[in-house]
Amino acid sequence: MNPLGLHSPGTSPLHRLPAGPKLLCLMVFVTVVVILGTVPWLAGACAVAAAGYVVARLPWLRVWQVLRLLLVLAVLVGGLQLWLVGPEPAAVTVLRLAAALAAANLFTFTTRVDAVVAAVERGLGPLRRVGVRPEQLGLLVGLTVQAVATLAALAGSVREAAVARGAGRSPTAFAVPFVVRTLRYADELGEALAARGVGDEPDDPRDPGARR
C-alpha cells in the first residue's frame, strides 16, 4: 500500500476535475450528510456517492475495497447501534458513515496528494503574509483525507482476516492487528515524507521561534 495515498490513475471526468473544486465538493457533501437525519435522504446521498464511482470508472478491486469497508461498518456499527438505540437510528448512523466514507475514498482514488497540496496552497497563498505556510496546510489536508481512506481500508482488511480465521466476534482479534498495521502505516508514512524532504525546510529568520 502506498503510504502517500490510494490514487488510482484514470481519464474519467472526476480524474480530470481540478483538486480544488473536488475538495470543496467533498466538504459540502460531508457537511450535508452530517446535517441530514432521515433514512431516505441519507440513502439518496449514498446513491450519489455510488454514482460517482460509476463516473470514475474505477477498477473493480478498488470498488470492492470500499464495499468491504461498508459491509464491516454495517456489521460492527450497525449491530451496536441496533442493540443500543433501535433500528432507525442504527440505519441513520450506518448510512451517514457509508456516504461520508464512500465520498472520501472516491476523492482519494481520483485525486493525487500533490494536487491537493497545490490547490490548498493556491487558495491560502495570501495568508503567507501573516506567517501561514500554505504548503504545510495543504499537505496536512491531503494527508488527512488520505489517512481516513487508508485506515478505513486497513480496518476492512483486518476484519475480513479475523472472520476468515473464525475469530470474527473477538475484539482482540481485530484490535491488535489493526493497531500493529496502523503503526506500520504511520512509520512508512514518516519515512516517505522524510524521503521527500518534508520537515527539512530552513527556518524563516523572521519567525521568532526559529531563533535560539
- pLDDT score recorded for residue 143: 67
Q: Give the whole-angstrom CA distance, residue 190 versus residue 169.
A: 33
Q: In this structure, is the dihedral angle defined by the CA atoms of residues 18, 24, 26 and 28, taken in order, positive or negative? A: negative
Domain boundaries in the chain?
13-198
Task: Decide if pLDDT at 201 tops 60.
Answer: no
| pLDDT greater at residue 72 or residue 31 | 31
**Three-state DSSP string of 76-127:** HHHHHHHHHCCHHHHHHHHHHHHHHHHHHHHHHHHCCHHHHHHHHHHHCHHH
How far apart are alpha carbons 120 and 103 in whole angstroms?
19
pLDDT for 101 = 85
- The structure's pTM equals 0.65
Whole-number pLDDT of residue 49: 92
Query: How far apart are the C-alpha atoms of 13 and 1, rounded to whole Å?
Result: 25
Measured in degrees and rounded to the nearest 5, phi and psi for residue 200 equal -100, 10
pLDDT tens for 156-166 read 677 777 777 77
Contact 10/57 with Cβ under 8 angstroms?
A: yes
Residues 99/77, Cβ–Cβ less than 8 Å: no
Segment holding 28, helix H or strand E: helix 19-35
pLDDT computed for residue 206 by the predictor: 46
CA end-to-end span of the chain? 40
Residue 4 has pLDDT above 50, yes or no: no
Q: What's the residue count for the chain?
A: 212
Query: Among the listed ranges 46-55, 61-70, 170-179, which one has the minimum average pLDDT value?
Result: 170-179
What amino acid is encoded at 13 in this protein?
P
Asked whether the predicted pLDDT for residue 8 surpasses 60, the reply is yes
Q: What are 71-110's pLDDT values in tens digits?
A: 877 887 888 888 888 888 888 888 998 898 888 888 888 8
> Do the beta carbons of residue 82 and residue 90 sit within 8 Å?
yes
- Residue 207 has a pLDDT of 47
2: pLDDT confidence band, cut at 50, 70 and 90?
Answer: very low
Considering the chain, what is the average pLDDT of its residues? 76
Q: 3 CB contacts (<8 Å, ≥6 apart)?
A: 150, 185, 188, 189, 191, 192
Task: Report which of residues 188 and 15 the model is more confident about.
Answer: 15
